[in-house]
Structure 1
Amino acid sequence: DPDLADLFFVPAYHGVQYNDFLEVKTHEPDVEKRFPYLARHRGMDHFFVVSANLPSWETLHPLRHVMQLTVESYQVNDNVPRWYSPWKDVMIPGYIDRWRIKSMRSYNKPTSERGFLLVFHGNHPGTHKLYVTHKAKVRTAILDAFTGIPDCSVGAHVPDFFDRMGRSHFCLVPRGSSAWTIHLYESFFFGCVPVILSDFLEVPFQRAVDWPALSIKWPEDRVGPELLEHLRAIPLERIAEMKRRLEEAACYFDFHRGWGVRKPEDPVGWMSWSPDAVALGEDCDYLSHGDASSADSCRGSCDKDPHGCNLVNFLQPGSPQSPSGEDEKVASCVLRLCRDPAQPALTGGAAGWQVWSKVSDEALGCSPYAAIFEELEARRLHRPVSHGPLWN
């Protein structure tokens, strides 16, 4: 019932769709009839996703109070400032593919095995005109300051980029064509402490993530010997602690987490996943088979397993399964050890199978979706109740 809704989600729009829908239609004379719930609180209970390029509407009256979920905190195109407010809008991280996250983690070396002090490899004004247009001078400053220093690896794209990131203590994260760059979120999976060189960047999820404990923010106009001296002065023990905190917070920047919901009937400490699926692959190592007489017995076998079982694939007795092409009644309990039981990779099409994993509430809450809803809830709670033509 929309009359009882606390928030309204408007799907993402891009390019001319902003003008065709959000700009034009919300400025038409009958806007309050066309969008009665938008008018109810003048948009304060509406939010929409801006995946790229902040809007630059000149007339903001119907929409100036809506909440944006955006990767952009500051952007200037064609000398038109784009609007963003940290008081109401919600910063979200950029998306990284699951296969890419897995690959980045495979290159993540322990602190004691990292030979580079700092790394930056990417586009800059010398390789791409976009960075000239948007005056990303800090990227040129990085090359000027650190090129040729033995334990500093900087420059354009290189084929062994993942290897260098995984072997560096610090990853430089300069602004690009706008304030944000995907390099920031990649650093969480490389275990490479980010050094943010973007003065207007607002980092996401500040309620959930202790950013000063796992990153460094440094002024763009002071990139040079002073920054190098500062990084060299940080003790290895502190770098290792920052790396540990960085990796603990990585779950907030992985959009493949948080899609599971614990059901009220799930046993304490356990969570059921999609039916007719199994967890396979390198993320969930096979341990052994357990008691398949019931789901409870199967989970009990996992609890007793000495090798750290945290997930079971269970096929209940009496389930039709015909691996040999003939119908037969089978039961099976497969015990597995998953790298992250809150994020198992599931394979569908497994008729009759169930997947159960041992997941804490804390692990379930460590996801970008949980952090986004926490931010939205905070804004809802602090919304003026009297804002708009009526209150209820």
Structure 2
Amino acid sequence: MKKEIFHDKDVFNEEYKVMNRSLKIYVYPHKKNDPFANILLSIDDEPSGNYASESFFKKSLFKSHFITTDPKEADLFYLPFSITNMRNDKRVGVGGIQDFVKEYIVQISEKYPYWNRSGGADHFYVACHSIGRSAMEKAIHVKLNAIQVVCSSSYFLSGYLPHKDASIPQIWPRKGPSLTNAPSRRKKLAFFTGTMNSRVRENLVETWSNDSEITVHRGCFDINTARIGVALYYGCVPVILSDHYDLPYADILNWESFSVIVSSLDIPKLKQILQAIEYHHYVKLQNNVMQVRKHFQ
């Protein structure tokens, strides 16, 4: 991979070697006959859908050499509950997620000493559903102390702390090789699809929905919040319109080498900004997209 895609490839490689050699994670154990095994254990099926990143993480972690059954060896403790599976479980549902998390923390803190000795600071959970932002409201120490590894990584919203928490990409799994067109065959300046659930999106649509060079689809749920992964899958250069988004792997990857980051205040000038990108620079961005997208699949 081209060095400029990383902030510092040599530093990353060295730190990765250390992590790969020494990191140990303890997962709170649960049995297959647990009433909520579907929420607490890894699924057997291949992860799919818009929140697959959550399942992929758990599935990969459970098979990895990072797992230890000896909590004395552990650097981190994994809270294995799935926000998505809670939401889809009729016994819990959207309205019961906060109580489920609260009760789970009570149970592990009474049964094990590890949560209490750190206040949860060496614990982490993973969530890709946006409802995860409010899932910890009744377990405030999880929200304040534990490491939140989430796809909804906006520090404009309460609860996400960039210096403590981590952002992961939201991936929609697709079969077959990644698709792409050569830059010379791409005829649209920009493409957007999504629901009008924020002022930024409303402003984007109001400003550019009638422009023939910018394709805007409103009210579409098919891509949802996995847009960056989708853009990279199709070999598009992502245009990031968010002033408060903690980009995935931002401490490792140089996003400016394969994306265009635009302030929401500059939406009226979006077309001008994109058209001002010289062709050779666009080709370089797109080539970097082709190199980096394997990390988002």
Distance (Å, rounded) in 2 between the aligned partners of 1:112 and 1:62: 49
Superposed, 1:49-60 pairs within 5 Å as 49-52=126-129, 53=131, 54=133, 55-57=135-137, 60=140
1:67 corresponds, among 137, 147, 154, to 147
- Letter of the aligned partner of 2:293 in structure 1? A
| 1:34 has 2:106 as partner | no
1:2 corresponds, among 63, 66, 71, to 71
Q: Secondary structure at the match of 2:144?
A: coil
1:24 corresponds, among 80, 100, 103, to 103
What is the match of residue 185 of structure 2? 113
> What are the superposed Cα offsets for residues 151-188 of structure 1, whole Å, 9 maximum, x if unpaired?
22223379xx99xxxxxxxxxxxxx7xxxx21111111
Distance (Å, rounded) in 1 between the aligned partners of 2:258 and 2:284: 8
1:152 corresponds, among 214, 236, 259, to 214
Contact 2:98 2:136 in 1 (8 A): no
Structure 1 residues 191 and 57: CA distance shift in structure 2, 3 A? same
CA drift at 1:229 = 1.0
Q: Secondary structure at the match of 2:159?
A: coil
Contact 2:102 2:138 in 1 (8 A): no
Structure 1 residues 122 and 64: CA distance shift in structure 2, 3 A? closer
Q: Secondary structure at the match of 1:193?
A: coil
What is the match of residue 251 of structure 1? 294
What is the match of residue 259 of structure 2? 215
When structure 1 is superposed on structure 2, of 196-205 and 15-24 the one drifting more is 15-24
Contact 1:146 1:152 in 2 (8 A): yes
Percentage of pairs with the same residue: 25
Contact 2:136 2:143 in 1 (8 A): no
Superposed, 1:345-384 pairs within 5 Å as none
CA drift at 1:58 = 5.4
Structure 1 segments of 4+ aligned residues over 6 angstroms from their partners:
none
CA drift at 1:197 = 1.2
Distance (Å, rounded) in 2 between the aligned partners of 1:198 and 1:208: 20
Distance (Å, rounded) in 2 between the aligned partners of 1:237 and 1:206: 25
Distance (Å, rounded) in 2 between the aligned partners of 1:22 and 1:212: 37
CA drift at 1:123 = 2.8
1:11 corresponds, among 72, 80, 90, to 80
Q: Secondary structure at the match of 2:145?
A: coil
Contact 1:27 1:62 in 2 (8 A): no
Contact 1:42 1:63 in 2 (8 A): no
Contact 2:232 2:290 in 1 (8 A): yes
Q: Secondary structure at the match of 2:141?
A: coil
**Bigger radius of gyration among the two:** 1
> What are the superposed Cα offsets for residues 178-228 of structure 1, whole Å, 9 maximum, x if unpaired?
xxx21111111111111111222111112332101111222223212x221
Superposed, 1:179-258 pairs within 5 Å as 181-224=225-268, 226-254=269-297
Structure 1 residues 113 and 5: CA distance shift in structure 2, 3 A? same
What is the match of residue 47 of structure 1? 124
- Letter of the aligned partner of 2:279 in structure 1? L
CA drift at 1:88 = 1.6
CA drift at 1:32 = 4.5
Say how many residue pairs are matched.
214
> Could you say what the CA RMSD is over the residues aligned between the two structures, in angstroms?
2.8
Q: Secondary structure at the match of 1:96?
A: coil
> What are the superposed Cα offsets for residues 233-274 of structure 1, whole Å, 9 maximum, x if unpaired?
1101100100111121111111xxxxxxxxxxxxxxxxxxxx
**Structure 1 runs not aligned, ≥5 long:** 125-130, 163-175, 255-392
2:169 corresponds, among 75, 88, 93, to 93
Contact 2:167 2:249 in 1 (8 A): yes
Contact 2:155 2:246 in 1 (8 A): no
TM-score, structure 1 as length reference: 0.49
Distance (Å, rounded) in 1 between the aligned partners of 2:160 and 2:240: 20
Contact 2:98 2:139 in 1 (8 A): no
Distance (Å, rounded) in 2 between the aligned partners of 1:3 and 1:195: 45
Q: Secondary structure at the match of 1:223?
A: helix
> What are the superposed Cα offsets for residues 321-372 of structure 1, whole Å, 9 maximum, x if unpaired?
xxxxxxxxxxxxxxxxxxxxxxxxxxxxxxxxxxxxxxxxxxxxxxxxxxxx
CA drift at 1:137 = 2.4
- Letter of the aligned partner of 1:96 in structure 2? W
Report which structure shows greater RCO (CA 8 Å, sep ≥6): 2
Contact 2:258 2:288 in 1 (8 A): yes
Distance (Å, rounded) in 1 between the aligned partners of 2:207 and 2:142: 47
Distance (Å, rounded) in 1 between the aligned partners of 2:143 and 2:264: 33
Q: Secondary structure at the match of 1:200?
A: coil
What is the match of residue 319 of structure 1? none
| 1:139 has 2:218 as partner | no
Distance (Å, rounded) in 1 between the aligned partners of 2:97 and 2:204: 36
What is the match of residue 275 of structure 1? none
- Letter of the aligned partner of 1:192 in structure 2? C
